A and B are shown apart, each in its own frame.
Chain A
């Protein structure tokens, strides 16, 4: 199974892009599923399931969603393998710009939208800076000049990523994204792997700078997802 981390600010178009990309891969015979990490509420699980993709929803509640992500991603990956998935997308909203759910051995995708403003790429942090692929959405409603300036600002903070433009509504540009997602590394071991960026802030081992994944490394306030409830949420 391939596992991809997909992150981006709220309402940047992550789910719409993912739906278009996954539908193309589905047509090519790829069995794809999604785990959606969010804070308080999310309807995206329903959108994915309505489109025929098995989906989990993990709500972080009072804890930081990126910490919640790293405490639960192994179980989600195990769920994906049980479902017989070829590709699992871990989608999470980057809410505070401080952290990133990207893992060193996994393909990392960041979605940004052109409406966010030219200074946004400089504000976002590791979610954007450490991504392998940056997908810029909503290009159909801003000027060509703004698209070029925005892409340049993204390039200024991430010298290595591929930058692509995609439209989550019409699907324009998602063919290219599908090709790249489909080339993501296969069967990467999560346990013992490392986050690309540390997530310090408050109450668990990751708050103190831990970057290793695995139950042995997790201390403090750890909330595990209820997988049965997550499948229905």
Chain B
């Protein structure tokens, strides 16, 4: 409903922004909407595409969006995925209980149903997707309205097909994201994301670097840091980020520290072993749940050494050094 025209116009900077983005003059403090409308030049009133009512409605929507953005999603305590059925109709054997700070890896050949599982979580399936799985939030079926609100969705997604498409510098873009979350200290939030992203990326980049000029590894690092630190979503779904040139251990730690539930679809041995559990998907269903054994953990440590050595070789290549020298310094 349009605001009463006699109500005083809000004069906080966030509301003044409404007039600026629409190319309208700032209202004088204490003015009501009727007085503001009358104060506009007739050309603006007649030809500017606004009426007094649409202006009131537009301002109300703009201000309301800020309240919606400021609303923090309730902290998630758990996510349960109740079994559905495999592609051949046979029942799925495993129930999954996920808690904040947990990293679960998903493995299986292409077409086995990894994406279906991620999609079931994304849409909070209630026995109505082909897998017939049900997802419980904090132990019970979620409010059905959540499924019909993009803003209420619990899930952030990162896949290897995603790119930054906005023509903005990194810091300007992060500011936009912080503003859309109505954060108190946007500058601090931006700095934290940028620091975390640079620490994860192989090559440093700055606040002024255009988003679209980031390398694959840099943009992946920025997406991860942003999803961990700026996105309000408590669940993160990651699909195949292995080839990105990102410090993967650091990336996962960032999510764990922020108490996110991470589901990671991957065939990278180092990543697959860094999860608390891994799910083997076969024929559309979770066929096995594997917890890393001590022998596997030993394996993971050796893999991490190889990974650091490989990173060292990449670094030597980048510096233009002969690889044999670097090779002899590194431990394989």
**A residues bordering B, Cβ < 8 Å?**
98, 114-115, 117-118, 122, 125, 129, 136, 139-146, 148-149, 151-153, 155-160, 162-165, 172-173, 175-176, 179-180
Binds A, one of B96-104, B161-169, B322-330: B161-169
Q: A152-B69, A172-B122 are in contact. Are A122 and B148 (CB under 8 A)?
A: no
Specify which of B153, B163, B176 is in contact with A142 (CB 8 Å cutoff). Answer: B163
Is B65 a contact partner of A155 (Cβ separation < 8 A)? yes
Is A145 a contact partner of B148 (Cβ separation < 8 A)? no
Is A144 a contact partner of B156 (Cβ separation < 8 A)? yes
Is A118 a contact partner of B148 (Cβ separation < 8 A)? no
Specify which of B61, B163, B166, B233 is in contact with A157 (CB 8 Å cutoff). Answer: B61
Is A175 a contact partner of B128 (Cβ separation < 8 A)? yes
Closest Cβ of chain B: how far from A140's Cβ, in Å?
6
B129 at the interface (CB under 8 A from A): yes
Cβ–Cβ < 8 Å partners of A118 in chain B: 166, 176
**Interface size of B in residues (CB-CB distance below 8 Å):** 49
* Distance between Cα atoms of A126 and B150 in the complex (Å): 21
Is A145 a contact partner of B173 (Cβ separation < 8 A)? yes
Closest Cβ of chain B: how far from A144's Cβ, in Å?
5
* Distance between Cα atoms of A200 and B145 in the complex (Å): 37
Is A157 a contact partner of B62 (Cβ separation < 8 A)? yes
B119 at the interface (CB under 8 A from A): yes
Specify which of B64, B69, B149 is in contact with A163 (CB 8 Å cutoff). Answer: B149
B60 at the interface (CB under 8 A from A): yes
Interface centre among B61, B119, B173 (most CB of A within 10 A): B61
Chain B 137-168 interface 0/1 with A at a Cβ cutoff of 8 Å (1 = within) = 00000000001111101001111011111110
Is A141 a contact partner of B162 (Cβ separation < 8 A)? yes
* Distance between Cα atoms of A157 and B161 in the complex (Å): 29
Is A149 a contact partner of B156 (Cβ separation < 8 A)? no
Q: A143-B223, A148-B180 are in contact. Are A159 and B60 (CB under 8 A)?
A: yes
* Distance between Cα atoms of A145 and B64 in the complex (Å): 20
B27 at the interface (CB under 8 A from A): no
Closest Cβ of chain A: how far from B26's Cβ, in Å?
17
Specify which of B54, B68, B166 is in contact with A146 (CB 8 Å cutoff). Answer: B166
Cβ–Cβ < 8 Å partners of B60 in chain A: 159
Is B149 a contact partner of A144 (Cβ separation < 8 A)? no
